[in-house]
Amino acid sequence: MTDSLVARMIKKVEEEDLVSGTFTWRVDNFSQLKKYQHYSEVFVIGGYKWRMLIYAKGNNVDCLSVYLDVAEVSALPYGWNRYTKFKLTLVDQFDTNKSITKDLEHTFTASTADWGLTSFIPLSELHRHDKGYLVNDVCVVEVEVSVRNGIKILEDQETGELMDFRGLVRIGKNFVPMLEEVCSLYPSLIECQMKRSRTFVQCAFTALGRVLHFLKTTKAKDMNADACQRLQLLWEELEAFKFDLAWLEPHVQSVFGMTKKVGIVNRLKEDVDVLDNEIKTRRAILADAEAELEVAKRNLAEAEEEYFSKIDMDSELGYPLA
């Protein structure tokens, strides 16, 4: 089998593993947008939060600039990355068949959390009345995102080499140290499974290992809505195996409570980011206005010097007598 064929097969498997979704953004009062950059509401595709970003007057170009942006970057773990295929579309509201679509792919990271096209379409083309890109001051843009499912990625990270656990069953190697630790402290975890089938015991301790692994490897700042849903599913699965979990349940419930607080903090951080960007934009506008003011003052001084220096401003205007 050739290397190129192997590469094509790997790419095909990766593409089949992608989860897709579409978000449509109707931008009202387009010509009246005051901000230098304008974000959509947050939407979720593939278990991840996204936003669209546009520069209605162009990102330092005379073109509409359109990007896909990873939302709540500050809440993501250090070193995160996210391979994504996506399509950006400017909708023709007269005839959708004439809409403009651009295909892109990118691995998003903390340093490149937004990606798209700075020169999507010239502003002159966007504002043409015979086109359907801007109708009644409404612009419609769409993004179709294809990304690996966030929940499945967590599951993939848990799989790996199996290892013997106390002569009972073989368990994922990553789980064994944590299981040894808690079973030494709570012997009933072993005792309650002694009369179960080997398959049942393996499933039971795998479920316990998943919960412990999640709690061990997840930081408080990472507990977003998707992570909370993940923990909820793992916990419900674990409860089905009838362990005595009185020692663990209060802690898990406290984590669920923590999620709400983290969500509030993340929303406040996002508000701060938006306001910070707004301040930077207004400072840039103010700097331009101050520069224009200085030019106007110089022009005024030169005009006064040229036109009034030879005229006695206190003399009468008089009138001709002949």
Residue spans of alpha helices (H) in the chain:
3-16, 123-126, 150-158, 176-185, 188-191, 198-217, 225-239, 249-308
* pLDDT for the residue 13: 38
- Same domain flag for 122 and 235: no
Would the pLDDT of 44 be above 60? yes
111, 218: one domain: no
Q: What is the pLDDT of residues 286-313, one digit of tens each?
A: 999 999 999 999 998 888 777 776 677 6
Mean pLDDT, range 140-156, rounded to an integer: 71
How far apart, in whole angstroms, are the C-alpha atoms of residue 64 and residue 225?
A: 33
In a domain, 7, yes or no: no
pLDDT band at 11; cut points 50, 70, 90: very low
pLDDT tens-digit series, residues 163-210? 889 888 888 888 999 999 999 999 999 999 888 888 888 888 998 998
pTM over 0.75: no
Residue 256 confidence (pLDDT): 81
Sign of CA dihedral 162, 167, 169, 171: negative
Rounded CA-CA distance 170/178 in Å is: 14
Whether residue 322 is contained in a domain is answered as no
- Asked if 30 and 106 sit in the same domain, the reply is yes
Tell me how far apart the alpha carbons of residues 115 and 13 are, in angstroms, rounded to a whole number.
Answer: 24
Q: Is the pLDDT of residue 159 over 70?
A: no
What is the model's pLDDT at position 148? Answer: 73
| Tally of domains in the chain | 2
- What is the rounded CA–CA span in Å between residue 244 and residue 183? 11
215 and 132 belong to one structural domain: no
114 in a structural domain: yes
Q: What is the pLDDT of residues 114-123, one digit of tens each?
A: 999 999 999 9
The domain in which residue 245 lies consists of: 154-263
Residue 94, in any domain of the structure: yes
CB 213, CB 175: distance < 8 Å: yes
pLDDT at 80 over 90: no
- Round the average pLDDT of the chain to a whole number and report it: 84
In a domain, 99, yes or no: yes
Give yes or no for a contact between 97 and 105, defined as CB atoms under 8 angstroms apart: no
Write the pLDDT tens digit of every residue in 91-105.
Answer: 999 999 999 999 999
> Looking at the predicted structure, is the pLDDT value of residue 83 above 50?
yes
